[in-house]
Structure 1
Amino acid sequence: MSSQPVQGLPILPGSTFRDPTKTAFHRSQTLSYKNGFAFKQTPTVGIGGTRLYVNQLSQAELDELSNKRPTLTYGQPKQAPPSDFIPAHVAFDKKVLKFDGYFQEDVPISTEEHFRIRQVGIYYYLEDDSMSVMEPIVENSGMPQGKLIKRQRLPKNDCGDHYHWKDLNRGINITIYGKTFRIVDCDAFTETFLQSQGIELNPPEKMIFDPYTELRNMPLRMYVTPSDFDQLKQFLTFDRMVSLGFVALVLHRILSQRTFPSCVLEISDQEVLEWFTSKDFAVGKSTTLLGRSFFIYNCDEFTRQYYQDKFGITDFQPVNIKKQPPEEIKQIIPPYNGYGFLEDSLQNCFSLIPQPPRKNIIKMLENDRKVLRYAVRLESPRPEDEKRQFILSYCLATDMISIYEPPVRNSGIIGGKFLGKTRVPKPGSSTENPVYYEPSDFTVGAMVEVFSHRFIIVDVDEYVMNYIEHNLESFPASVVESMRNHFAPRKAAKEALKK
């Protein structure tokens, strides 16, 4: 029994005592009836009529206070921050829904098939709601296959709507650009994704195959009527017996098979009933085989004995023929068409796999980076070409000529490369046997014709004169004398400056 505070004493720890004279410990009545309805009343006194020192609040008010206790203690709760925004192209990156389907294509011009079943794969890209239709490539199908519809947003109707992944399911038809596709199944990822979004999938259907393709895949059974002729007996009797007759081409006939080796007939509806036999051949007689006429002029000893025993033929007089020697066929080289170098183009006439023409490697190594330069002017009836100056360069390693025109300001003529490196033939030489320009052909005052353009040499480089002095055997005396006379004034001026 709990102790009760004594009246007149402060309510402090240790100052509450139990009243030994108290004998009533009944509880107050809280339930009553009013107008026939049960009501709950708040007690006014405690057990035994003691005073209540608590607030007289109802149970609803107490529950409300208990619910608001965290709010009263900590204040109003703060809302959780929203989750980070993830765009669709990141959330659904590389996530593709794949559906298996087919469509039927009419074949109006074929007598073997009236329609064709073509299997396709329908791909739906979740990142941008685009779709594509791919057909597996079948080798030697004769039809354009692969990507039937490129990746794009496909229209659903004429109202501007587009297909969404919610519109796709197994066992339905979808129309894309006039073609109706039947969806029969999907892959595991597609099935899991659609089920997670609350879409009820239809049961999968069986893929339909092309009937004509299935017919072609069936093994072809051909029945051949067996022959009444005993081929085994003939093989055992005439095995290793070969009749040999000498014609313009050597003619063999296998007696055990009564046929010719390597004789191939074209497939046709007509059955061949007549074949060549031994009695169709004789010395001095012509025979037509596969459209070609053969003349038999002799045979071997075994063939003579075979014909004598079987047919009683003893006349095997050989025919004397003269073999004509084969005619020598001269190779005709087509004319040069002007493209590329003549020596390079000529290799196409000598071999199926043309090889580049051989180069003089020793000459290229000895004359590497050696160039003879000449100052030339253009000979032309036009007055604007009279003052044009050019530099003609001769490469000693490859015997090629290039022409460069130094640009002149306000001349109205664009300078630069006039002729790229190429071998220039002399005027009057034939196309089949061209004669190209050499260093001995260039001297001061000489005219050089380059592809219908005439140039006059007006000056040369000192390097040209030094090259001529070291290679006098390669230049005629007139060229050497002309060069020496041209450089004589310069040489005299240099000696005068030295003195």
Structure 2
Amino acid sequence: MCYRSPDLPFLPGFTFNSNLGRTKFNMDPKFEHLGPGIRALKEKVKPNMLGILSDKYPSIYPRGEATEIPAWLCFDKQILVFEGFFQETLQEYRAAPFIVRKVKIFFYLEDGTIQVIEPKVKNSGISQGTLISRSRIRFPDPMSENFYDILDFNIGREVEFYGRVFKITQCDEFTRNFLNRCGIAVPDPIVEPSDPYLEQRKAEGDGTQPKKPNRSVDIRGKFLENDRKVLRFKCYWDDRKTQFGYIHNLEVLFYLADDTVEINEKHEESSGLPNFCFLKRTKLPKVYKGLPAPGCDAPNTILNVLGQSFNKRYTVDPLDCGKEVTEYYSEKDFSIGGTLNCYGRNIVIIDCDMFTKDYFSKNYGLEELIPIDAPKNKIEIVAKERKLPPWNGFGSYEDTVQNCISVQPKAPHRDFKKFLSYDRDGMDSHILRFEARLVSKNDINCTRSFIISYFLTDDTIQVNEIAKDNSGFKTSCFFQRCPVKLPGQRVFSSEAPLYYTPQHMFIGATLIINGFQFVLINADEYALRFMELNPTIYPKANIEVIMEKVRDKLVPIYKDFVAENIPNEAPTISYDALRSKLCRIMGKDFTEHEMITIARAFSAVCTKERYDREKVRALALTELKRFLWDDWVRLREYLMQRDPERTGLLSQKDVYTVLKACRIPFDNNLIDKMLEVSKKDEQCNVYYMDVLNFLDRRICPPPDVIPVNVKSELWWGLDRDADPSLLIDWCAFNKHLNLEESFKQPVTDKDVKYLEQKRLI
């Protein structure tokens, strides 16, 4: 760049070129520390020796008071924003001599550049946007040697950029704070003058000529807000006035996304009526006047401007002359007890679901929506039963039914669900076996022993004889497996016969099979255990029902009943003694099976389990060692994931699921046995940390054991219960009766002596 001396004229030959004799033209950068631990590339700026380009205004901060940081780093991304306007003359519009155009002035502090932008205004007719691109702007003549700086901008001042004068009226908060910190006072904002052109347009209206109407409806926002939100109402339509009409139970679905309605007909499964779609999803008009003519549903009305001439011209009618508005049902038209007009059919709303109640409560303030009852059909549709002819004696009754239903004979259908429920599963055979005695006038037949097996899969009975040595009989099948009818029924009848059910099988029951009378005198352990595990199906094995019967009988004589056992001073009582007492009190309603259930529930004889906790742990660790399973981390992670509250407890089902998910190489019986011996709380929830310690070999490792067949060794049937015919816990029996509160007075010595004298007599 050339510099000149102010004393010499600016003519060729009178200027000095600073590059004469210079050999190095590159920049001289260097790294300097801008702060603690901050290094930046900084240029060396040579001092202005001539002083020609001296600043117009002094520096904001005195030298030495502020850190020497380059402006591009100190004021990076810091912009002063001013709002202003300028007036532009209108030559072609007589009513308004000028127009006011609003602008924004940006002053970039890093390099002193200025940018002017005019915000876009809709339908202004002016090409708006960036008026002056970002650059340094000089002062107008005669001060064109200098550039605009920060001190030249303030509210109320006018600046001239390239011939246009801009009046500054306002600035943002950052600009105001920055100028105040620099010691520059910023006045209050100035009110901008009104625009006569815009006022004239508002007085005349937004456009003197008719425009194309904008009838677009924003349905996207409503769809995004209410997608998958459906109001569900329970309704009915009374069609009994017509021939063969009835009450139609309907379900109305109102979709909030697009205000459409769908109606389905719902019936009970036992009604015999099909469910079908009553009305497909569509908008439901409030008043139906027939199908619309072609073009009536169009959003716009087209007008022919030039008539029937050759050059036809069409335009859109902005006034919609003659257009009919169709009203459709909305969410506000639905209420309990209200009526919907579905193309001439009056549908009455009687109830709604919980989401619909919450929606109306939240949006319309309806707290209670009380449902109403729908009328009932006078004529109920009943399925006609097919009357079959009586049994002809060939085959079974089921064979006769199948032959009457179809021309081609088919085998009777089997109860497949029952078969799947009671099919054999490991050691669980679902066969109830009872020991029976034959009742006969012949004394030899009375000594014969029989085993009656009841198969739960198909309710069939099989009788096998177990012969004794030198009895003259052999062990064989006495009665082949088949259903057995109850005695006392008509043989040749069209009604389905009744068969023996599991409820007829209990100790003490009498069965008549093929003319022979059997009395059940005993049952195996599996039958007793199975019936006790299903007390709702087998009332003879339900200890709660039995004790309730005993409690009702003992209420008036409980004092004498308890006092009879006081002289013995023993916490136990024999099976025969308690049986004799209960049989005398209960009478014929008390069966032998119920007595055995009481003896098993309150047995006083203790038995030792074949596999305790240590044996089960040794067997489990041996299985883990055999299959090389060591996924401890995932097992602990899954168990803790099931317990987000960190209580340390999980249900047995959750622990069982996690063990199976971690592919632990245990049989189901071994897992059940391990959970049985694990530590539990009062609600039978398992401490899963005890399960982890149970499977950890590092904690008290037991010696390895010989692998066994887990299915057979851990079967519950091998751990036989104590013989109920030995002793019964008298204290536990009385505690379960819970009749002490009815007799608060204790038994005295006089009562004991009276009972002893009565016994001697």
TM-score by structure 2 length? 0.21
Choose between structure 1 and 2: higher helix proportion.
2
TM-score, length of structure 1 as denominator length: 0.31
